[in-house]
Structure 1
Amino acid sequence: MAIRRAKQKQQVIEKLSQVAPAGETFIACVHVETGPSPWLNALFDEVPVLGLVVALTRKFYFLTLTNTSVVVNTANRFTNRPGEVVMAFPREAFPVSRIKRASVWSSMYVELNPGAKPTRLNINRYWRTELDQLLGALPQAQIPAQGGAVQTPADFPRG
Protein backbone atom coordinates (compact mmCIF):
# COMPACT_ATOMS: atom_id res chain seq x y z
CA MET A 1 0.00 0.00 0.00
CA ALA A 2 1.52 3.27 -1.12
CA ILE A 3 1.19 6.04 1.44
CA ARG A 4 3.78 8.52 0.24
CA ARG A 5 2.78 10.83 -2.59
CA ALA A 6 5.95 10.10 -4.58
CA LYS A 7 5.28 6.35 -4.51
CA GLN A 8 1.63 6.82 -5.56
CA LYS A 9 2.69 9.04 -8.46
CA GLN A 10 5.33 6.49 -9.48
CA GLN A 11 2.70 3.74 -9.55
CA VAL A 12 0.34 5.87 -11.66
CA ILE A 13 3.09 6.72 -14.14
CA GLU A 14 4.11 3.05 -14.40
CA LYS A 15 0.48 2.07 -15.05
CA LEU A 16 -0.11 4.82 -17.63
CA SER A 17 3.23 4.22 -19.37
CA GLN A 18 1.89 0.85 -20.49
CA VAL A 19 -0.86 2.50 -22.56
CA ALA A 20 0.56 5.96 -23.30
CA PRO A 21 1.78 6.87 -26.77
CA ALA A 22 5.53 7.08 -27.29
CA GLY A 23 7.02 10.38 -26.18
CA GLU A 24 4.30 11.17 -23.62
CA THR A 25 5.69 13.15 -20.68
CA PHE A 26 4.00 12.97 -17.27
CA ILE A 27 3.91 16.36 -15.53
CA ALA A 28 1.58 16.15 -12.52
CA CYS A 29 -0.62 13.58 -10.83
CA VAL A 30 -3.42 14.45 -8.36
CA HIS A 31 -5.43 12.08 -6.15
CA VAL A 32 -9.12 13.03 -5.93
CA GLU A 33 -12.30 11.60 -4.46
CA THR A 34 -15.93 12.05 -5.44
CA GLY A 35 -18.89 12.86 -3.27
CA PRO A 36 -19.97 15.66 -0.98
CA SER A 37 -17.49 17.69 1.01
CA PRO A 38 -15.28 15.48 3.20
CA TRP A 39 -15.99 17.91 6.02
CA LEU A 40 -19.49 16.45 6.20
CA ASN A 41 -18.09 13.05 7.21
CA ALA A 42 -18.21 14.02 10.89
CA LEU A 43 -21.91 14.81 10.53
CA PHE A 44 -22.63 11.68 8.49
CA ASP A 45 -20.88 9.49 11.06
CA GLU A 46 -23.35 10.64 13.72
CA VAL A 47 -26.28 9.11 11.81
CA PRO A 48 -26.21 5.30 12.01
CA VAL A 49 -25.31 3.64 8.70
CA LEU A 50 -25.28 6.96 6.77
CA GLY A 51 -21.53 7.49 7.25
CA LEU A 52 -20.84 4.01 5.91
CA VAL A 53 -23.15 4.49 2.93
CA VAL A 54 -21.50 7.80 1.99
CA ALA A 55 -18.02 6.30 2.41
CA LEU A 56 -18.87 3.35 0.19
CA THR A 57 -20.35 5.55 -2.55
CA ARG A 58 -17.21 7.66 -2.85
CA LYS A 59 -14.99 6.87 -5.82
CA PHE A 60 -11.28 7.60 -5.98
CA TYR A 61 -9.34 8.71 -9.04
CA PHE A 62 -5.98 10.00 -10.17
CA LEU A 63 -5.90 12.95 -12.59
CA THR A 64 -2.63 12.89 -14.52
CA LEU A 65 -1.43 15.83 -16.58
CA THR A 66 0.74 14.93 -19.55
CA ASN A 67 2.25 17.08 -22.27
CA THR A 68 -0.84 16.51 -24.45
CA SER A 69 -3.74 15.48 -22.21
CA VAL A 70 -5.35 14.96 -18.82
CA VAL A 71 -5.89 11.28 -18.04
CA VAL A 72 -8.38 10.07 -15.43
CA ASN A 73 -7.84 6.63 -13.96
CA THR A 74 -9.35 4.86 -10.98
CA ALA A 75 -7.64 4.44 -7.63
CA ASN A 76 -8.22 1.53 -5.30
CA ARG A 77 -10.29 2.56 -2.27
CA PHE A 78 -8.02 0.78 0.23
CA THR A 79 -4.52 0.70 -1.29
CA ASN A 80 -4.58 3.77 -3.61
CA ARG A 81 -3.12 1.62 -6.36
CA PRO A 82 -3.97 3.03 -9.79
CA GLY A 83 -6.54 1.15 -11.83
CA GLU A 84 -7.94 1.38 -15.30
CA VAL A 85 -8.09 4.53 -17.40
CA VAL A 86 -11.60 6.01 -17.28
CA MET A 87 -11.21 8.95 -19.65
CA ALA A 88 -8.53 10.96 -21.41
CA PHE A 89 -9.09 14.57 -22.45
CA PRO A 90 -6.93 16.91 -24.55
CA ARG A 91 -5.46 19.53 -22.21
CA GLU A 92 -7.31 22.37 -23.91
CA ALA A 93 -10.64 20.50 -23.70
CA PHE A 94 -10.56 19.24 -20.10
CA PRO A 95 -14.16 19.84 -18.91
CA VAL A 96 -13.46 21.39 -15.50
CA SER A 97 -15.65 24.00 -13.82
CA ARG A 98 -16.42 25.55 -10.44
CA ILE A 99 -12.90 25.28 -9.08
CA LYS A 100 -12.67 26.12 -5.39
CA ARG A 101 -9.25 26.22 -3.80
CA ALA A 102 -9.61 25.97 -0.03
CA SER A 103 -7.15 25.67 2.83
CA VAL A 104 -7.68 21.93 3.44
CA TRP A 105 -10.17 20.43 0.95
CA SER A 106 -10.29 22.00 -2.51
CA SER A 107 -12.92 20.98 -5.02
CA MET A 108 -13.74 21.16 -8.70
CA TYR A 109 -16.37 19.73 -10.99
CA VAL A 110 -15.38 17.58 -13.97
CA GLU A 111 -17.67 16.19 -16.64
CA LEU A 112 -16.41 12.60 -16.58
CA ASN A 113 -19.13 11.36 -18.94
CA PRO A 114 -19.85 13.61 -21.94
CA GLY A 115 -23.27 15.21 -21.63
CA ALA A 116 -23.71 14.09 -18.01
CA LYS A 117 -23.86 16.22 -14.90
CA PRO A 118 -20.35 17.23 -13.75
CA THR A 119 -18.93 15.18 -10.88
CA ARG A 120 -17.60 16.91 -7.77
CA LEU A 121 -13.97 16.01 -7.10
CA ASN A 122 -12.41 16.76 -3.70
CA ILE A 123 -8.67 17.30 -3.41
CA ASN A 124 -6.81 17.24 -0.10
CA ARG A 125 -4.17 19.83 0.77
CA TYR A 126 -1.58 17.03 0.60
CA TRP A 127 -1.93 17.23 -3.21
CA ARG A 128 -1.92 21.06 -3.42
CA THR A 129 1.34 21.42 -5.39
CA GLU A 130 0.18 18.94 -8.02
CA LEU A 131 -3.26 20.55 -8.18
CA ASP A 132 -1.63 23.92 -8.85
CA GLN A 133 0.48 22.36 -11.63
CA LEU A 134 -2.61 20.80 -13.20
CA LEU A 135 -4.69 23.98 -13.04
CA GLY A 136 -1.79 26.14 -14.23
CA ALA A 137 -1.44 24.05 -17.38
CA LEU A 138 -5.10 24.29 -18.35
CA PRO A 139 -5.89 27.28 -20.58
CA GLN A 140 -9.43 27.68 -19.25
CA ALA A 141 -8.60 27.27 -15.55
CA GLN A 142 -9.67 30.64 -14.22
CA ILE A 143 -10.66 30.63 -10.57
CA PRO A 144 -12.99 33.36 -9.30
CA ALA A 145 -11.54 35.05 -6.26
CA GLN A 146 -13.47 36.82 -3.51
CA GLY A 147 -15.04 40.05 -4.76
CA GLY A 148 -15.49 38.92 -8.36
CA ALA A 149 -11.87 39.32 -9.54
CA VAL A 150 -10.35 36.44 -11.46
CA GLN A 151 -7.35 34.68 -9.95
CA THR A 152 -5.13 32.23 -11.80
CA PRO A 153 -3.12 29.42 -10.12
CA ALA A 154 0.04 31.53 -10.43
CA ASP A 155 -1.58 34.09 -8.07
CA PHE A 156 -2.15 31.55 -5.26
CA PRO A 157 -0.16 32.03 -2.07
CA ARG A 158 2.28 29.22 -1.40
CA GLY A 159 2.30 27.38 1.87
Structure 2
Amino acid sequence: MAMKKSTIQQQVAEAIAQANPQDRPIVTIQAIAGPSVWLMSMFGLIGQAFLTYYFITVTQQAVLLHRASRMSNRPQELVVAIPPNEAMRMISDVRRNTLWSSFRCQLPGQPKPTRMNVHRIWRNEMDQLLGMLTGQPAA
Protein backbone atom coordinates (compact mmCIF):
# COMPACT_ATOMS: atom_id res chain seq x y z
CA MET A 1 0.00 0.00 0.00
CA ALA A 2 1.46 3.31 -1.08
CA MET A 3 1.63 5.66 1.86
CA LYS A 4 4.28 8.16 0.80
CA LYS A 5 2.92 11.14 -1.05
CA SER A 6 5.69 11.00 -3.65
CA THR A 7 4.91 7.32 -4.39
CA ILE A 8 1.20 8.08 -4.74
CA GLN A 9 1.93 11.01 -7.09
CA GLN A 10 4.18 8.77 -9.20
CA GLN A 11 1.49 6.08 -9.45
CA VAL A 12 -1.09 8.67 -10.56
CA ALA A 13 1.37 10.07 -13.13
CA GLU A 14 1.90 6.54 -14.49
CA ALA A 15 -1.87 5.98 -14.78
CA ILE A 16 -2.21 9.26 -16.68
CA ALA A 17 0.70 8.38 -18.99
CA GLN A 18 -0.90 5.01 -19.80
CA ALA A 19 -4.21 6.66 -20.69
CA ASN A 20 -2.75 9.64 -22.56
CA PRO A 21 1.03 9.66 -23.18
CA GLN A 22 0.96 13.33 -24.28
CA ASP A 23 -0.53 14.58 -21.00
CA ARG A 24 1.48 15.41 -17.85
CA PRO A 25 0.20 16.05 -14.30
CA ILE A 26 0.75 19.47 -12.79
CA VAL A 27 -0.69 18.85 -9.32
CA THR A 28 -2.41 15.86 -7.68
CA ILE A 29 -4.31 15.54 -4.40
CA GLN A 30 -6.02 12.70 -2.63
CA ALA A 31 -9.57 13.49 -1.54
CA ILE A 32 -12.22 11.53 0.32
CA ALA A 33 -15.74 12.19 -0.94
CA GLY A 34 -18.64 11.99 1.43
CA PRO A 35 -19.73 13.34 4.80
CA SER A 36 -17.26 14.50 7.41
CA VAL A 37 -14.35 12.09 7.82
CA TRP A 38 -14.53 12.69 11.58
CA LEU A 39 -18.18 11.67 11.71
CA MET A 40 -17.71 8.60 9.54
CA SER A 41 -14.71 7.41 11.59
CA MET A 42 -16.99 7.21 14.64
CA PHE A 43 -19.07 4.59 12.83
CA GLY A 44 -16.09 2.38 12.00
CA LEU A 45 -16.49 0.09 8.98
CA ILE A 46 -20.10 1.13 8.47
CA GLY A 47 -19.00 4.76 8.22
CA GLN A 48 -16.29 3.83 5.71
CA ALA A 49 -18.99 2.51 3.37
CA PHE A 50 -20.20 6.10 2.90
CA LEU A 51 -16.79 7.37 1.77
CA THR A 52 -15.23 7.21 -1.69
CA TYR A 53 -11.52 7.81 -2.24
CA TYR A 54 -10.31 9.83 -5.24
CA PHE A 55 -7.22 11.35 -6.78
CA ILE A 56 -7.89 14.75 -8.36
CA THR A 57 -5.24 15.86 -10.84
CA VAL A 58 -4.83 19.02 -12.88
CA THR A 59 -2.90 18.10 -16.01
CA GLN A 60 -1.74 20.11 -18.99
CA GLN A 61 -4.95 19.16 -20.82
CA ALA A 62 -7.73 18.54 -18.26
CA VAL A 63 -8.81 17.97 -14.68
CA LEU A 64 -8.93 14.22 -14.00
CA LEU A 65 -10.72 12.35 -11.24
CA HIS A 66 -9.49 8.79 -10.61
CA ARG A 67 -11.11 6.45 -8.12
CA ALA A 68 -8.55 5.24 -5.56
CA SER A 69 -8.35 1.67 -4.32
CA ARG A 70 -9.15 1.35 -0.62
CA MET A 71 -6.78 -1.60 -0.25
CA SER A 72 -3.70 -0.53 -2.22
CA ASN A 73 -4.27 3.25 -2.43
CA ARG A 74 -3.49 3.10 -6.15
CA PRO A 75 -5.41 4.92 -8.88
CA GLN A 76 -8.11 2.81 -10.49
CA GLU A 77 -10.50 3.80 -13.25
CA LEU A 78 -10.82 7.31 -14.54
CA VAL A 79 -14.18 8.62 -13.32
CA VAL A 80 -14.27 11.87 -15.24
CA ALA A 81 -12.07 14.14 -17.35
CA ILE A 82 -13.16 17.76 -17.28
CA PRO A 83 -11.93 20.40 -19.74
CA PRO A 84 -10.10 23.27 -17.99
CA ASN A 85 -12.71 25.88 -18.94
CA GLU A 86 -15.49 23.81 -17.30
CA ALA A 87 -13.37 22.97 -14.25
CA MET A 88 -13.14 26.66 -13.34
CA ARG A 89 -16.83 26.60 -12.30
CA MET A 90 -16.92 23.30 -10.40
CA ILE A 91 -15.36 24.35 -7.04
CA SER A 92 -17.24 26.03 -4.17
CA ASP A 93 -17.38 26.27 -0.36
CA VAL A 94 -13.65 25.90 0.37
CA ARG A 95 -12.98 25.33 4.09
CA ARG A 96 -9.42 25.12 5.41
CA ASN A 97 -9.13 23.42 8.80
CA THR A 98 -6.30 22.16 10.95
CA LEU A 99 -6.47 18.48 10.05
CA TRP A 100 -9.18 17.98 7.41
CA SER A 101 -10.01 20.69 4.89
CA SER A 102 -12.90 20.41 2.48
CA PHE A 103 -14.42 21.88 -0.65
CA ARG A 104 -17.48 21.17 -2.77
CA CYS A 105 -16.97 19.84 -6.28
CA GLN A 106 -19.79 19.81 -8.82
CA LEU A 107 -19.20 16.61 -10.77
CA PRO A 108 -20.87 16.13 -14.16
CA GLY A 109 -24.12 14.20 -13.89
CA GLN A 110 -24.49 14.80 -10.15
CA PRO A 111 -27.51 16.79 -8.89
CA LYS A 112 -25.54 18.61 -6.18
CA PRO A 113 -21.88 19.29 -5.36
CA THR A 114 -19.88 16.50 -3.69
CA ARG A 115 -17.98 17.28 -0.50
CA MET A 116 -14.26 16.49 -0.94
CA ASN A 117 -12.26 16.09 2.29
CA VAL A 118 -8.50 16.63 2.07
CA HIS A 119 -6.00 15.69 4.79
CA ARG A 120 -3.41 18.26 5.83
CA ILE A 121 -0.52 16.35 4.23
CA TRP A 122 -2.10 17.34 0.90
CA ARG A 123 -2.84 20.97 1.89
CA ASN A 124 -0.08 22.63 -0.18
CA GLU A 125 -1.16 20.68 -3.25
CA MET A 126 -4.83 21.42 -2.48
CA ASP A 127 -4.07 25.15 -2.31
CA GLN A 128 -2.23 24.95 -5.64
CA LEU A 129 -5.01 22.92 -7.28
CA LEU A 130 -7.80 25.19 -6.00
CA GLY A 131 -5.84 28.28 -7.01
CA MET A 132 -5.53 26.92 -10.55
CA LEU A 133 -9.24 26.03 -10.73
CA THR A 134 -10.70 29.13 -9.08
CA GLY A 135 -8.12 31.71 -10.10
CA GLN A 136 -7.86 32.82 -6.47
CA PRO A 137 -4.83 32.47 -4.21
CA ALA A 138 -5.11 30.28 -1.09
CA ALA A 139 -6.51 31.90 2.06
TM-score greater than 0.5 by the shorter chain: yes
Q: Which residue of structure 1 aligns with residue 72 of structure 2?
A: 79
| Structure 1 position 102 matched with structure 2 position 97 | yes
| Structure 1 position 14 matched with structure 2 position 14 | yes
Q: How far apart are residue 26 of structure 1 and its match?
A: 1.1
Q: How far apart are residue 19 of structure 1 and its match?
A: 1.2
What's the Cα RMSD here? 1.7
Could you tell me which amino acid in structure 2 is paired with residue 8 of structure 1?
I
Q: How far apart are residue 2 of structure 1 and its match?
A: 0.7
Could you tell me which amino acid in structure 1 is paired with residue 121 of structure 2?
Y
Distance 1:18 1:137 in 2: 24
Find 1:92's aligned residue among 75, 85, 88: 85
* Equivalence map 1:59-70=2 (5 Å): 59-70=52-63
SS of the aligned residue for 1:18 comes to helix
Q: How far apart are residue 21 of structure 1 and its match?
A: 5.4
How many residue pairs end up in the alignment? Answer: 137
| Structure with bigger gyration radius | 1
Distance 1:111 1:136 in 2: 16
SS of the aligned residue for 1:57 comes to coil
SS of the aligned residue for 1:7 comes to helix
Q: 1:19 to 1:69 in 2, by over 3 A?
A: same
Could you tell me which amino acid in structure 2 is paired with residue 9 of structure 1?
Q
Q: Identity over the aligned pairs, expressed in percent?
A: 38
Could you tell me which amino acid in structure 2 is paired with residue 101 of structure 1?
R
Q: Which residue of structure 1 aligns with residue 2 of structure 2?
A: 2
Distance 1:14 1:21 in 2: 9
Q: Which residue of structure 1 aligns with residue 51 of structure 2?
A: 58
Distance 1:25 1:2 in 2: 21
SS of the aligned residue for 2:19 comes to coil
Structure 1-normalised TM-score?
Answer: 0.79
Distance 2:8 2:21 in 1: 21
Structure 1 stretches of 4+ with a deviation exceeding 4 A read none
* Equivalence map 1:109-148=2 (5 Å): 109-138=104-133, 140-142=134-136
Structure 2-normalised TM-score?
Answer: 0.89
Could you tell me which amino acid in structure 2 is paired with residue 63 of structure 1?
I
Could you tell me which amino acid in structure 2 is paired with residue 97 of structure 1?
S
Unpaired segments of 5 or more residues in structure 2? none
Distance 1:11 1:79 in 2: 11
